[in-house]
Amino acid sequence: FDKTIIIWQYWSDVYMDVSAFTPIIKTICEKHQIEFNEIIPQGFSTNAVFKIGSYIFKIFAPPSSGANTISDFDAEKSALERAIIAGVNVPKLYYDGLIETKYPFYYMVFEYIEALEARKVVSNYNDEQKRIFAGKILDILEKLNKPVTYDAKHLSIKNRYKLFNKWQIFTPSIQKQVDEYIQNLELNDFVYVHGDITEDNILIDQNHGVYLIDFADSTIAPAYYEYPSIIFGLFDFDETLFHLFRSEMNYDDFIDVLYHSILLHEFGAIFSKMILEQDGNQTVDNLTNIIQLKESLKRLFKKRLNN
């Protein structure tokens, strides 16, 4: 591996580079007696993901990038084990380990699932198919979001949003308000969460079977931590899916909880930027108070969901 990775941006520039990762992939293939084949990048991901024959290779960003490599690796492995025990459809993990080269690269080798990302399928569903799909997502959450005995260390979720300084696209004043809001947020009812149930991390096969992938962002948090990725990514504001998902929860109460989850979430800054851009009344640069973000959220939902 001949690339230099000393900050996250360097990793972002190289993680889909087939030529850069070919020596590492060949080493992994030799180690596990896997036939080396054409290397096909698998699109956007925090880590380097490639398809080789009937396998998916996932290579984690090294610690030099600023990533929490070992904790992400351990989180994904333990979360996969919990998901399997819970009866959630996930790709089979064949091998995992560490390749020591210029940087230490942790890796996992999964089975390749013959399926499409949800974003390529769900938009073509009729209302009945959406009802069934929403039910499957709720079933996954029920199986995954198992309660965790309270421990003070779980409050580390209040610092997860700081990873990679995503909020730096906002003004220092907004960054301070977000921090104060999160640190004063009362958290309870901790559960295991996937943390990134997006349109790319749900796969749907030809029989409409649903698979959940990429557990690297799994953590411990209130169950509503799952909401932003599902509502903004997986459901893409679809009115039918949204109302099926919130079920009996009062609309205004759901918006309040969603607002909490956005600010708390590791990718909250990205969700917030998207909300402001789609609402069109505020921008990242002229936002002066985070309550304006909540107002933008309400306007956007009224516009997109006809409320």
**10-residue averages of pLDDT along the chain (307 residues):** 92 94 97 96 86 96 92 91 95 96 96 93 93 95 88 70 87 95 90 94 94 91 95 91 86 91 94 93 92 93 76
pLDDT of residue 250: 87
Residue matched to tokens 């990242």: 284
Spatial strand order of the sheet with 93-100 comes to 39-41, 48-52, 55-59, 104-111, 93-100
DSSP track, 233-264:
IISTT-HHHHHHHHTTS-HHHHHHHHHHHHHH
* Percentages of the chain per state (helix, strand, coil), in multiples of 5: 50, 15, 35
Read out DSSP for 143-183? HH--B----GGGGGHHHHTTGGGGGGGS-HHHHHHHHHHHH
Strands 55-59 and 39-41 come out as unpaired
pLDDT at 307: 54
Q: What is the pLDDT of residue 248?
A: 76
Instruction: Tell me the CA distances in angstroms from 223 to 70, 135, 187, 265, 272, one per residue in order.
Output: 24, 17, 10, 12, 20
Which amino acid would we find at residue 103? Y
Question: pLDDT by residue (tens digit) across 100-145?
Answer: 999 999 999 999 999 999 999 999 999 999 999 999 999 999 999 9
d(CA 254, CA 250): 6
pTM greater than 0.85 (yes/no) = yes
What pLDDT, on the 0 to 100 scale, is given for residue 135? 94
Q: Which position has the token pair 């959220």?
A: 297
Give phi and psi for 13, each to the nearest 5. -80, -15
How far is the C-alpha of 196 from the C-alpha of 202, rounded, in Å?
10
- The reported pLDDT for the residue numbered 150 is 61
